[in-house]
């Protein structure tokens, strides 16, 4: 993995360890166990528009998480988990300039805390039980967002991370790629989408933004438009959603395992083996291998 890139898997594993140690029962609706495990208390206050919350640390080490009571319940829950991530990961907060809910989060610390928060709010076991076997679609993602009381973007990102087939969720703003969450099989194929690069002109995301349309669109795109150093490209699906007001875009990319290019050896000539992705902490539910897609 190139330097300076967020290690999503390491953050997810850290979050799972925190959950297993601090709140083993995975309280889907009650976050107080998580706060307690982080030595934090949560208080609610009417904050300015765009300010979701912040954390102060008392001299005795206790953290006080303040949440904007004017935001909806789903956002408040995400804020609590995001602030817990700052505490557990030891990352300073950078909310002073950028609203937490804007996709325009240039600071990698904020992306890392969002990844941690998603792991807490959308526990992987409950998530995998809720994900339907259908092809990805707006309604599938929306139903998951409702079920887990989170945003479309959070649900789509989680969907990609835990998909059992090659799948990615690319987060962009102002025409620049910020982050790509990838499924285990896509990581195993070394499918790489470079952060801080421009949105590819062939993509559905680019075309939506180019037309300045705030909408969601499904299309097809060559795999090598998105993935770097990708040979023998075939087409894949791209479900893009663009907001013209914030100039932010997300794209869900996916294809079936049979449409991957032949890549038996990696670029160092070593025969490729799957590392199995995220190990499970519980020993249950073995992680799917490379080929589970119909
Ligand atoms: Zn933050």
The domain ranges of the chain are 1-121, 124-271
Strand spans (E) along the chain:
40-45, 53-57, 63-68, 167-173, 176-182, 216-222, 235-243, 248-254
Who's near 103: CB < 8 A, 6+ residues apart?
153, 171, 172, 173, 178, 243, 246, 248, 250
Span from the CA of 154 to the centroid of ligand 1 (angstroms): 15
176 against 264, higher pLDDT = 176
Q: What's the mean pLDDT when you consider all of the chain? A: 83
Domain 124-271: CATH class, spelled out: alpha beta
Q: Is the pLDDT of residue 278 over 50?
A: no
pLDDT tens, 251-261? 999 998 877 77
Span from the CA of 107 to the centroid of ligand 1 (angstroms): 9
pLDDT tens, 152-176? 988 999 999 999 999 999 999 999 9
- Cβ-in-10-Å burial (0-12, 13-18, 19+) of 68 comes to buried
Span from the CA of 112 to the centroid of ligand 1 (angstroms): 9
Span from the CA of 275 to the centroid of ligand 1 (angstroms): 31
Span from the CA of 95 to the centroid of ligand 1 (angstroms): 6
Which single residue is written with the structure tokens 């995301």?
205
Span from the CA of 207 to the centroid of ligand 1 (angstroms): 31
CATH architecture of residue range(s) 1-121: Orthogonal Bundle (1.10)
What's the helix, strand, coil split of the chain in %, to 5?
35, 20, 45
Who's near 28: CB < 8 A, 6+ residues apart?
123, 126
Span from the CA of 38 to the centroid of ligand 1 (angstroms): 15
CA atoms within 13 A on the CB side of 31: 27
- The Cα 239–Cα 155 span in angstroms is 14
What are 29's two structure tokens?
A: 């609706």
Span from the CA of 12 to the centroid of ligand 1 (angstroms): 16
Q: How many Cβ atoms from other residues are within 10 Å of residue 55's Cβ? A: 18
Span from the CA of 53 to the centroid of ligand 1 (angstroms): 9
pLDDT tens, 25-65? 655 667 888 999 999 999 999 998 878 899 999 999 999 99
Report residue 41: phi and psi, to 5°. Answer: -120, 150
| Confidence at residue 27, expressed as pLDDT on a 0 to 100 scale | 54
Span from the CA of 199 to the centroid of ligand 1 (angstroms): 25
Q: Is the pLDDT of residue 93 over 60?
A: yes
Q: Is the pLDDT of residue 117 over 70?
A: yes
When pLDDT is cut at 50, 70 and 90, the band that residue 124 belongs to is: confident
- The Cα 170–Cα 39 span in angstroms is 34
Span from the CA of 39 to the centroid of ligand 1 (angstroms): 17
Span from the CA of 105 to the centroid of ligand 1 (angstroms): 9
The answer to whether 104 and 173 have CB atoms below 8 angstroms apart is yes
Span from the CA of 82 to the centroid of ligand 1 (angstroms): 6
Nearest-5° Cα angle at 268, 265 to 270: 45
| Confidence at residue 287, expressed as pLDDT on a 0 to 100 scale | 34
pLDDT tens, 204-242? 999 999 999 999 999 999 999 999 988 867 999 999 999
Q: Which of 14, 172, 9 is nearest to 90 (CA)?
A: 14
Span from the CA of 93 to the centroid of ligand 1 (angstroms): 5
Query: Helices 108-121 and 73-89, interaxial angle, to 10°?
Result: 120
Span from the CA of 247 to the centroid of ligand 1 (angstroms): 21
Span from the CA of 150 to the centroid of ligand 1 (angstroms): 17
Span from the CA of 48 to the centroid of ligand 1 (angstroms): 16
The answer to whether 44 and 67 have CB atoms below 8 angstroms apart is yes
* Region for residue 191 given its phi and psi (left: phi exceeds 0; alpha: psi -120 to 50; beta: otherwise): beta
The answer to whether 34 and 81 have CB atoms below 8 angstroms apart is yes
| Confidence at residue 31, expressed as pLDDT on a 0 to 100 scale | 86
When pLDDT is cut at 50, 70 and 90, the band that residue 97 belongs to is: low
State the sign of the Cα–Cα–Cα–Cα dihedral 217, 222, 227, 228.
Answer: negative
| Confidence at residue 106, expressed as pLDDT on a 0 to 100 scale | 58
- The Cα 204–Cα 185 span in angstroms is 23
- The Cα 108–Cα 99 span in angstroms is 14
* Single pTM value for the model: 0.77
Q: For the chain, how many residues are written?
A: 294
CA dihedral of 41, 43, 49, 53, whole degrees rounded to 10: -10
The answer to whether 43 and 80 have CB atoms below 8 angstroms apart is no
């Amino acid at each position: 993995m190139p330097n300076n890139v967020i290690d999503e898997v390491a953050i997810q594993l850290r979050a799972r360890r925190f959950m297993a140690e601090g709140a083993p029962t995975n309280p889907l609706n009650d976050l107080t166990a998580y706060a307690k495990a982080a030595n934090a208390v949560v208080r609610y206050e009417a904050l300015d528009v765009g300010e979701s919350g912040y954390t102060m640390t008392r001299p005795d080490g206790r953290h006080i998480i303040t949440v904007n009571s004017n935001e909806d319940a789903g956002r408040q829950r995400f804020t609590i988990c995001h602030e817990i991530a700052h505490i557990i990961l030891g990352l300073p907060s950078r909310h002073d300039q950028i609203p937490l809910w804007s996709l325009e989060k240039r600071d990698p610390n904020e992306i890392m805390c969002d990844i941690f928060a998603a792991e807490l709010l959308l526990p992987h076991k409950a998530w995998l039980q809720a994900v339907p076997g259908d092809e990805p679609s707006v309604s599938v993602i929306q139903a998951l967002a409702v079920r887990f009381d989170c945003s479309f973007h959070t649900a789509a990102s989680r969907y990609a991370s835990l998909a059992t087939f090659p799948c990615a969720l690319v987060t962009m703003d102002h025409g620049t790629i910020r982050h790509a969450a990838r499924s285990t099989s896509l990581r195993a194929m070394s499918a790489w989408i470079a952060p801080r690069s421009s949105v590819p002109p062939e993509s559905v995301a680019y075309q939506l933004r180019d037309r300045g349309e705030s909408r969601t669109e499904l299309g097809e795109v060559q795999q090598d438009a998105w993935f770097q150093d990708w040979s023998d490209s075939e087409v894949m699906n791209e479900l893009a959603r663009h907001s013209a007001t914030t100039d932010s875009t997300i794209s869900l990319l996916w294809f079936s395992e049979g449409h991957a290019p032949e890549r038996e050896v990696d670029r160092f000539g070593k025969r490729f083996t799957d590392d199995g992705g995220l190990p499970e902490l519980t020993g249950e539910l073995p992680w799917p291998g490379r080929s589970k897609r119909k």
